[in-house]
């Protein structure tokens, strides 16, 4: 790439870092504007876009600093007040210029996701970019890079079959539930009413689920999602009263702490008389205390536990991967980011 400001990407994802540490490094949505400005204010940094999802935290920045990677790692350690052992366990990928561009193109295309061909990531990066734009932390370099990434992501999805099958964390969560229950007869509760919950609801209905309860901090949002999928809405401070009636709980809130705790579930299990309870936690930070899994007849799967299910679908789409990678390489040359081989 040309001389002058350079592009850097520093990131962690589900491959490099377990959920226990990823949840410590997740940026709550409300903090992203300030976080982008904090990165932009680092010495010799000029632009910043932060992408924070359940499976990754990535910082894209424009800079003229030889220690860019070190400064970003130091920023993460200080911002999240990591203990020495956590800082030592922090394994980041560090990419510059064309490698950073290639990586972003792959991310937006769903090729770097736990679920190969994942659909949600396109919208998540789009929202991250919108936040950075509104925060005033992007300019010529990152604007051009991200807009090109969106163009490439659309091209990959149009020209290949990479999206065939289950291509979202939500749909994989429902796949997992379907391996254990007959979804046509089971009762499901969704805690959270965001995009992940919507994907779960769509997958549940397509599998014939008859009873869906939606609970969310914003009751209006719960009512809206429940109405869309012919379900029932509950106020957030009341969902626990219906826990004894459901078979499956899928939780995807943005709460910074555990929402489902062992003492609550233990009390509910006394009412269930041995009937198993299946909980899927697709939130980061996690919604469900891992200790809940220690209770008898209770089964908890977090976002990392879904990776084995996702791997089955990945193998079915691997044949499309080479075509996707070829398209990305062609676009890198087209945009002048790399030179022809």
Instruction: Give the mean model confidence (pLDDT) for residues 177-205.
Output: 83
Same domain, 11 and 142: yes
Encoded tokens for 158 = 């149009």
Same domain, 141 and 11: yes
Helix pair 195-206, 169-180: axis angle to 10 deg: 40
Same domain, 145 and 32: yes
C-alpha–C-alpha distance, residues 145 and 143, integer Å: 6
Same domain, 184 and 329: no
Strand pairing partners for 281? 251, 302
Same domain, 182 and 244: yes
Q: pTM for the full model? A: 0.81
Is 92 noted as a catalytic residue in this protein?
A: no
C-alpha–C-alpha distance, residues 108 and 316, integer Å: 20
Residue 138 within a domain = yes
CATH code for position 241 = 3.40.50.720
**pLDDT value of residue 53:** 92
Domain count, the chain: 2
Segment among 6-15, 98-107, 123-132, 220-229 with least mean pLDDT: 220-229
Segment among 129-138, 203-212, 226-235, 290-299 with least mean pLDDT: 203-212
CATH code for position 127 = 3.30.460.30
Same domain, 127 and 152: yes
Residue 42 within a domain = yes
Confidence grade of residue 179 (pLDDT, cut at 50, 70, 90):
confident
DSSP code of 34? H
Same domain, 155 and 173: no
Supply the range of the domain harboring residue 181.
Answer: 169-305
Same domain, 128 and 227: no
Residue 341 within a domain = no
Same domain, 299 and 187: yes
Same domain, 20 and 52: yes
Three-state DSSP at 12 gives strand
Residue 244 within a domain = yes
Residue 313 pLDDT more than 70?
no
Residue 31 within a domain = yes
Written as one string, the DSSP assignment of 59-104 is EEEEE--TTHHHHHHHHHHHHTT--HHHHHH---EEEEHHHHHHHH
Residue 3 pLDDT more than 70?
no
Residue 190 pLDDT more than 80?
yes
Segment among 94-98, 163-167, 227-231, 320-324 with least mean pLDDT: 163-167
Q: Smallest Cα–Cα separation from 245: which of 286, 217, 213, 214?
A: 213
Same domain, 103 and 60: yes
Residue 117 pLDDT more than 90?
no
Mean pLDDT of the chain: 89
Instruction: Give the mean model confidence (pLDDT) for residues 275-280.
Output: 90
CA angle 44, 50, 54 (to 5 degrees): 150
DSSP code of 287? S
Instruction: Give the mean model confidence (pLDDT) for residues 182-208.
Output: 84
């Amino acid at each position: 790439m040309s001389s002058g400001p350079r592009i850097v990407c520093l990131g962690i994802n589900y491959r490099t870092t377990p959920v226990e540490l990823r949840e410590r490094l997740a940026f709550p949505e409300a903090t992203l504007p300030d976080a982008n400005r904090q990165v932009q204010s680092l010495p010799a940094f000029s632009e910043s876009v932060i992408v924070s999802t359940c499976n990754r935290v990535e910082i894209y920045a424009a800079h003229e600093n030889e220690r860019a990677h070190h400064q970003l790692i130091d920023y993460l350690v200080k911002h999240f007040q990591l203990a020495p052992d956590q800082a030592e366990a922090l394994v980041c990928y560090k990419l510059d210029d064309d490698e950073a561009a290639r990586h972003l193109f792959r991310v937006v295309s769903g090729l770097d996701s736990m679920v190969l061909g994942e659909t949600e990531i396109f919208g998540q990066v789009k929202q991250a970019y919108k936040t950075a734009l509104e925060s005033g932390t992007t300019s010529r370099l990152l604007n051009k890079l991200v807009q090109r990434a969106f163009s490439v992501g659309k091209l990959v999805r149009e020209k290949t079959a990479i999206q065939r099958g289950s291509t979202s964390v939500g749909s994989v969560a429902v796949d997992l539930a379907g391996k254990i229950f007959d979804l046509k007869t089971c009762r499901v509760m969704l805690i959270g009413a965001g995009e992940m919950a919507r994907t779960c609801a769509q997958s549940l209905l397509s599998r014939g689920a008859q009873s869906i309860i939606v609970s969310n901090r914003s009751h209006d949002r719960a009512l809206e999602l429940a109405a869309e999928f012919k379900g029932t809405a509950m106020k957030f401070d009341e969902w626990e009263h219906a826990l004894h009636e459901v078979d499956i709980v899928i939780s995807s809130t943005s709460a910074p702490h555990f929402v489902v705790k062992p003492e609550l579930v233990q009390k509910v299990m006394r009412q269930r008389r041995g009937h198993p309870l299946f909980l899927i936690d697709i939130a980061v930070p996690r919604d469900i205390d891992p200790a809940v899994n220690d209770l008898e007849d209770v089964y908890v799967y977090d976002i990392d536990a879904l990776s084995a299910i996702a791997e089955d679908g990945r193998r079915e789409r691997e044949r499309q991967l080479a075509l996707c990678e070829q398209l990305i390489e062609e676009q890198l040359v087209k945009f002048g980011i790399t030179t022809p081989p």
